[in-house]
Amino acid sequence: MKKLILLSFIISLIACAPIPSTYEPVIDFGNNNIDYALYQKDLNECRRYAERVSPVNQAVGEALAGAAFGAAIGAIIGSGFNDVGNCAGVGAGSGGLSGAVHGGGSAIERQKRIIENCMRGRGYKVL
């Protein structure tokens, strides 16, 4: 039960992560005269593209996959100790938790890459 509460907490944190709306890639403006109004417009449009990637959906999907894998491994290990149920439960909780963290983190990194690639596509030199 504690692992389920922790998993729910982590997924809630990932859902609240405002990465696309606050992330700003490092841009080399050089000695060019930059129209900052156009830059902000481009950045906001790129952020909207990045919002199409859902950290919550990816966290939940990987949590389910991690839980299934963890339960299977736990059951295999538990069969040697005549404790299949408990070991499968621990494996499911651990796998689900690590899957949620990994899935949410990789989705956030994907959002950042989308913003950077979008800005490159609009002619900005992203460092």
Structure confidence by residue, pLDDT tens digits, 68-107: 777 777 778 877 777 777 777 777 777 777 777 777 777 8
Q: Residue 111 belongs to what domain range?
A: 56-127
In a domain, 90, yes or no: yes
In a domain, 104, yes or no: yes
Contacts of residue 99, Cβ cutoff 8 Å, sequence gap at least 6: 59, 62, 63, 64, 65, 66, 67, 69
In a domain, 125, yes or no: yes
In a domain, 1, yes or no: no
Closest listed residue to residue 54, CA positions, set 114, 126, 116: 114
In a domain, 126, yes or no: yes
pTM of the complete model: 0.67
- Is the pLDDT at 50 greater than 60? The verdict is yes
Closest listed residue to residue 89, CA positions, set 75, 79, 77: 75
Q: How confident is the model at residue 37 (pLDDT cuts 50, 70, 90)?
A: very high
Structure-block tokens of residue 114: 């989308």
pLDDT digits (tens, 9 = 90+) for 105-118: 778 888 999 999 99
Number of folded domains in the chain?
A: 1
In a domain, 41, yes or no: no
